[in-house]
Structure 1
């Protein structure tokens, strides 16, 4: 799994950030609470050349007599070949690490390329644990209750008019079903206003949902439900507010299908798939709307739920720095 380049918390030193270029850490670290610069850090100046060390001549070893053990050519090891357990000149022993500089290739800590001796550690974006599906579901249900209450106030009259239009049709269908009559002749049909009322109701419901969720998510990453449960939405790349554009992209994937509810429930089906998608996504548990906006949902510490968003939560909940991931 590839990670986009950017500034992330250094797992080796949680009090600093470093730049991940997609293959390794580069540049000097900066304090974790400092604002990182745009793009990668400036290139470091090359180290000053050091004068080569003058080799000290070693005392000459006595040359073994021909035929003696260790003598080259005759009776000993062939010329140009190493003895068992000894490398040739210029080669390293098998247990010596390879020489070289630079950072190891592959994903950052938390997403190892190889296997783990057991279950791999959970990613901790910006030092915070990922929110569980249960907490996310409770927060979403609370938000739905708030939006439903807003619709009851703003959309109530249109809903009452629609119910008044379709009630005669469904009352007659139910009466015939109870009498065992399956005919459809003579059923009272709703007027042409019924279709227009459906469109108006869905447009108002979608607009109320957008007005409730997008501004609060853009500024603080939390709706009323998320604030009560103690979860927060943050970008994958940096610990910063979502902004209006990212919050709108995140809501569009889940909220716009509301306009398709009248198409045999197609919109509701799309929203159900989106809502269940975190159960099948690893390791960041991202829903489809999270993937589009490049966000993750994290669980805030209990002592920080009252005032989230000031950028210090990551410093107070780093019980496992080795699991920090960008």
Structure 2
């Protein structure tokens, strides 16, 4: 086989085997493709190896195709895993866990200070029930006969504990609503550099509208109350960001919110 002069620049049948034409720039194949034009007489310039350029045609000027990006063109940005649609990084699970722990400690510290007498009364009732149960078991009674639903109800501390937990949930929901509506985040979230935003609007620096903050806080409270019946509901909600693309908990999904951790200026430098 003899060497042949490469054909001029132009559109030729795609050597990759597709039904389209590929543009030859005189030295190599480009990524530009187009649908073949209407059949027209073709002028063969000479024998050219098929691996270099199949049948040569009258060259035509390249035109932009919508089938694929042009050579060297950057494809439009897409929503990446771990960011909002406008490119703001979503908060990592460990940052969210840390902020939750901070809020939990803060809330129960306030409860311990303001309701210490009630908590002391509950603990005293529980200790009395425990001592009485151990005394009866030591005397030969069966544990299943000692610790029953009726005995727990008579002890009183279960009812008081339920009321206390319910009050704490309601108080924390109100706290979350106020903080979200005024600061777009709880104290724990602000300490960790987190912010609650509307879904896929990470660059919106405005506070959450009051009704969205209310929906989120109410949904959180419903999950916590439901956890008293479905014990794994709260852990499931808090673990959801580990596998969900938008990293939303149940209350995030209901309220249409996401938690972001914007890159600070010092981090960017």
Normalising by the residue count of structure 1, what TM-score does the alignment of the two structures yield? Answer: 0.52
The yes-or-no answer on 1:109 pairing with 2:77 is yes
Q: Deviation string for 1:118-147 (max 9, x for gaps)?
A: xx6653554432221111111110011111
- Alpha-carbon offset, residue 185 of structure 1: 4.4
Matches within 5 A, 1:1-326: 81-83=40-42, 84-86=55-57, 96-98=63-65, 109-111=77-79, 122-175=82-135, 182-185=142-145, 189=151, 190-191=153-154, 193-194=156-157, 196-238=159-201, 239=204, 240-260=206-226, 262-263=228-229, 266=230, 268-282=231-245, 284-303=246-265
Aligned length: 206
Q: Measured at CA, do residues 202 and 291 of structure 1 come closer, stay the same or move farther in structure 2, by a change above 3 Å?
A: same
Gaps of 5+ in 2: 1-38, 43-54, 68-75
How well do the aligned residues superpose, as a CA RMSD in angstroms?
Answer: 3.6
Does the CA contact (< 8 Å) of 1:155 and 1:201 recur in 2? Answer: no
User: Displacement of 1:155 after TM fit?
Assistant: 3.5
Task: Give 1:295 deviation, angstroms.
Answer: 1.6
Structure 1: tracts of 5 or more residues without a match: 1-79, 101-107, 112-119, 305-315, 320-326
More helix, by proportion? 2
Q: Provide the C-alpha distance between the structure 2 equivalents of 1:229 and 1:186, rounded to a whole number of angstroms.
A: 47
For the residues of structure 2 that align with 1:203 and 1:174, how far apart are their CA atoms? 29
Q: Tell me if the contact between 1:202 and 1:258 (Cα under 8 Å) persists in the aligned partners.
A: no
